[in-house]
Chain A
Amino acid sequence: MNCRDLLEGLSDYLDKDLADKTCREIEEHLKDCHNCRVVVNTLRRTVTLYRELPREELPGDVQVRLHKIIQLDE
């Protein structure tokens, strides 16, 4: 496996969506390739940073206006 093949399969690798054999090939490549290891680590971190973004609270006035509008429309 070369760097290019590895890059294409990385999201599936991170999402544990690849066959065991392909995962092993990726891990084998990563042992000897510093830059690909950095891409894997930082891509994984990017995904977790976005997943951990705090949820926006629904502001009280926005909620009141929403319920008023749908009642008028119902």
Chain B
Amino acid sequence: MEHTVPTDNQLIEEIRQGRTGALDELVSRYETKVYNLAYRMLGNKEDAEDVLQDTFLNVVRSLSGFKSKSSFSTWLYRVATNAALTRLRQKSRREKSEEEFLDEVYSVKDMSHSETPMVDWSDGPVKHLLDDEARRTMSAAIDELPEIYRAVFVLRDVQGLPASEVAEVLNLTVPAVKSRLHRARLYLRNKLSDYFVAEELI
């Protein structure tokens, strides 16, 4: 007999019917994705594990209310993102105000208008762009993003979800997702430029 891989909705039905192993199978399918989402949202492994556990405990408890009309993965991303945002809010951190953030985002406008030619680090040596210190700088820059920009950026550019799915996960319109994504990208570009240019690595 041909063995076919069950769909998410089939697994959910089997969990409801009490088939041993079905829940483990469903969790295994998504655990690494959820862990990575949490790790990029929170920036450390301890918090990522807490968010991972909270997410799947919530999923198990709410599975009876899940309507198979919607996509399980979108619903799961919503539960995971909410768990990550809750964890983020529990931490004693000072989030940049919207005004402060946007000032930094658009500082590039002044630069691009200036007479001084900007430095292009985009085709710098890969060994500098991809080394451990550059990666730490990239992670630290995500940690500076205000939470709603961070959620949009991580879902879209790190997890690779389409803009329409990010909109569904975060209950935003697609234009709102695109506008926040653009600002997050500009902010991160500024941070990476500061690093690559100041370090004279390029």
**Bound-state Cα–Cα, A59 to B181, Å:** 30
| Residues from 30 to 49 in B contacting A, C-beta threshold 8 Å | 31-32, 35-36, 39, 45, 48-49
**Residue among A7, A44, A46, A65 making CB contact with B109, cutoff 8 Å:** A7
Q: Are B185 and A35 in contact (CB under 8 A)?
A: no
Kindly state whether residue A31 has any CB partner on chain B within 8 Å: no
* Cross-chain contact of B118 among A39, A62, A63, A67 (Cβ < 8 A): A39
Interface residues of A in 14-70 (CB under 8 A from B): 15, 17, 33-39, 41-47, 49-53, 55-59, 62-63, 65-67, 69-70
CB within 8 Å for A56 and B158 given contacts A38-B118, A42-B120: no
Q: Is the CB of B52 within 8 A of A62?
A: yes
B45 contacts which chain A residues (CB < 8 A)? 56, 59, 62
Q: How many A-B residue pairs have CB under 8 A?
A: 123
Cβ–Cβ contact B192 & A58, under 8 A? no
Q: Are A46 and B188 interface neighbours, CB within 8 A?
A: yes
Of the four ranges (under 10, 10 to 19, 20 to 34, 35 or more), the interface on chain B belongs to 35 or more
- Given A42-B120, A50-B138, the answer on whether A7 and B31 have CB atoms closer than 8 Å is no
Whether B123 sits at the interface, judged by CB under 8 Å, is yes
Smallest CB–CB gap between B143 and chain A, Å?
13
Q: Is B3 an interface residue (CB 8 A)?
A: no
Whole-angstrom CA separation of A7 from B112 in the bound complex: 9
B178 proximity list for chain A (CB < 8 A): 11-12, 17
Tell me whether A10 and B57 are in contact in the complex, defined as CB-CB below 8 angstroms, given that A41-B122, A51-B157, A66-B27 are known contacts.
no
Q: Which 7 A-B pairs have the closest CB atoms?
A: A45-B122, A11-B182, A41-B122, A38-B118, A35-B112, A46-B189, A38-B120
Given contacts A34-B118, A69-B56, 12 further A-B contacts (CB under 8 A): A3-B112, A11-B185, A12-B178, A17-B178, A38-B118, A42-B120, A46-B188, A47-B157, A50-B157, A50-B188, A69-B57, A70-B60
B residues whose Cβ falls under 8 Å from a Cβ of A:
23-24, 27, 31-32, 35-36, 39, 45, 48-49, 52-53, 56-57, 60-61, 108-109, 111-114, 117-123, 129-130, 134-135, 138, 153, 157-158, 160, 163, 178, 181-182, 185-186, 188-189, 192-193
